[in-house]
Amino acid sequence: MSKILHENRNFIVKYLSMIESIKFLYKFKQNSINYLSKLMEEEIDIRRISIRNRDLFLMNHPEIVETVLHKEYLIFEKTMKGVELAKGTSIVTSTGDKIRQKMHVARPKLSKSYFPGYLDKMKEIMQVEIERLDMLTQNNKVINLHWELEYILLRLIGKIFFSKELDETHRILCYETHKGSIGLKRIALSVINFPKYIPSKANKEYLNAKQIADEFIKKLIDERISSTEQHDDLLNDILNEIDEKGNPVPDEYKYNHLFTLLPASFETPAKALSFTINEILRNEKIMSNLFDEFNQMGKYQTISVNDLENATYLHGCLKEALRLYPPIWLQTRKNNEEVIIDNVHIPKGSIILMPQYMIHRDPKYWEHPNEFRPERFLQEKPLKHPFSFFPFGGGPSRCVGNQFAFQMIPLVIHNLLTEFDIQLLDKNKPIRIETGITMYPKDGLNVIMKRKLNDTLNNNKPNKGKDNKIILEKEIIE
């Protein structure tokens, strides 16, 4: 009798915990940011969620993140449910001891020695883009600057890493990459793992995006192979990659590098750029501080790699945006052997969730955690723990493009703010966040822009009193 009671109780406990877990996934999928914000109040460092035979662990402590990403990184591999193609064989998705083999292809062209050349190319593109934005924003037309920023970064990346002039016909890559990121998140958080041939909403979003990226990458490769011109760029390095034994790597690997590098190099930084500008435009004091620095730097035509490196206040703004709105807001890993962390037993094959969003706003590590204060990064020791701020990840798979991002994003911000008066609509409404694989501003970045007339510096006062109809180029809202 007591055995039957015990078994029944076990069944009920299991059943209830399964219901609890499904509820978690459902709410998490519906509004991840709200849900994470609520969980923050409970101050639990490790939370276990069991879904069917799989355990998920939400790790909300910098010490634990350091263990997973850095100290014990060989035990943890990347999880990319849904991106079978890229699994383990690309720069972005490889982990463990594979990273070292894979990273050698990306590192050289992301090293600082190339930055002066990249800066020249960026200035060329920006000059064209400034003129285009000027035309686009004539007559006080309201534009969603967010999409323009995505497109500008796509053009910069195309020129720098693929030596290719991308144009309006490639804009679709921005929209589809964005939708693909939303689809991938849905796939990652679905309780049922639908095969790709089932036309679920998530599968369609991801597969459409993949098809557009496929076409772009295949054309890119074909054009390069048939070209007689020599290019010393990242595309060249990827297409000529050799393994440790000196043999060419399979074509599939090369494709996978490009497939994962494309969103990593333009879409992720574009989200950071958009949030940074969004915050700067809301605060006149911050804008004025920035212009003090811009005045020291001089006009964009003469800006050097060193100027961009030494723009500490601008970097403070970018870092603060990366803290509050980390584009990669949740990093995941799967452990390939069982492990005990912080006295918690983590069975082999569990999914580890490390939410940048939560840790970056934890009051234990940040004063006034929800306020945008670039000054906090100007202090000598801004971090209470090295992993209390990890927008670029950490350990051996830490983002290889982070230094480049700190050249490209500040250059675009400097350029836009010195060339235009930008007025943000709905300035007093809080920024609403939404998430796919990357975090983005749900309402976009709706602005009126007016070209500054003569002296682009010393002129940080926005034009006021315009009355406009909103003509959104494309709604971000899903």
Q: Give me the residues that bind ligand HEM (CB under 6 A), please.
A: 78, 91-92, 99, 103, 106, 110, 261, 264-265, 268-269, 272, 327-328, 331, 391-393, 397, 399-401, 404-405
- What are the CA-CA distances from residue 240 to residues 135, 236, 456 (Å)? 41, 6, 44
Residue with smaller CB distance to ligand HEM, 256 or 397: 397
Q: Which residue is nearest to ligand HEM (CB)?
A: 401
Q: In angstroms, what is the minimal distance from the CB of 158 to ligand HEM?
A: 12
Residue with smaller CB distance to ligand HEM, 395 or 444: 395
Q: In angstroms, what is the minimal distance from the CB of 183 to ligand HEM?
A: 18
d(CA 432, CA 478): 13
Q: In angstroms, what is the minimal distance from the CB of 119 to ligand HEM?
A: 14
> Bridge-partner residues for 354, per DSSP?
331
Residue with smaller CB distance to ligand HEM, 49 or 262: 262
Residue with smaller CB distance to ligand HEM, 107 or 429: 107
Token readout for 473 is 């180029």
Q: In angstroms, what is the minimal distance from the CB of 49 to ligand HEM?
A: 20
What contacts 410, CB < 8 A, 6 or more positions away?
A: 308, 311, 314, 315, 318
Residue with tokens 């969103």: 263
Handedness of CA 67, 365, 44, 328 (dihedral sign): negative
Nearest 5°: the CA angle 74, 48, 41 is 110
**Burial of 467 (C-beta count, 10 Å sphere; 0-12/13-18/19+):** exposed
Amino acid identity of residue 377, one-letter, is: F
Residue with smaller CB distance to ligand HEM, 94 or 446: 94
Residue with smaller CB distance to ligand HEM, 156 or 281: 156
Q: In angstroms, what is the minimal distance from the CB of 201 to ligand HEM?
A: 25
Residue with smaller CB distance to ligand HEM, 209 or 270: 270
Q: In angstroms, what is the minimal distance from the CB of 400 to ligand HEM?
A: 5
What contacts 127, CB < 8 A, 6 or more positions away?
A: none
What contacts 9, CB < 8 A, 6 or more positions away?
A: none
d(CA 266, CA 454): 31
Q: In angstroms, what is the minimal distance from the CB of 141 to ligand HEM?
A: 29
Token readout for 470 is 């909103």
Q: How far apart are the first and last CA of the chain?
A: 55
458 in Cβ contact with 291 (< 8 Å): yes
Four-point Cα dihedral 386, 392, 397, 401, nearest 10: -130
Residue with smaller CB distance to ligand HEM, 99 or 448: 99
Residue with smaller CB distance to ligand HEM, 104 or 282: 104
436 in Cβ contact with 184 (< 8 Å): yes
Question: Which among 64, 162, 47, 52 is positioned nearest to 109, based on CA atoms?
Answer: 162
d(CA 290, CA 62): 31
Four-point Cα dihedral 83, 84, 90, 96, nearest 10: 100
Element (H, E) at 11: helix 2-30
Q: In angstroms, what is the minimal distance from the CB of 126 to ligand HEM?
A: 16
Cα Rg, the chain, nearest whole Å: 23
Q: In angstroms, what is the minimal distance from the CB of 205 to ligand HEM?
A: 21
323 in Cβ contact with 30 (< 8 Å): no
Residue with smaller CB distance to ligand HEM, 20 or 243: 243
Residue with smaller CB distance to ligand HEM, 68 or 142: 68
Residue with smaller CB distance to ligand HEM, 159 or 448: 159
Q: In angstroms, what is the minimal distance from the CB of 467 to ligand HEM?
A: 35
Q: In angstroms, what is the minimal distance from the CB of 322 to ligand HEM?
A: 6
Q: In angstroms, what is the minimal distance from the CB of 328 to ligand HEM?
A: 4
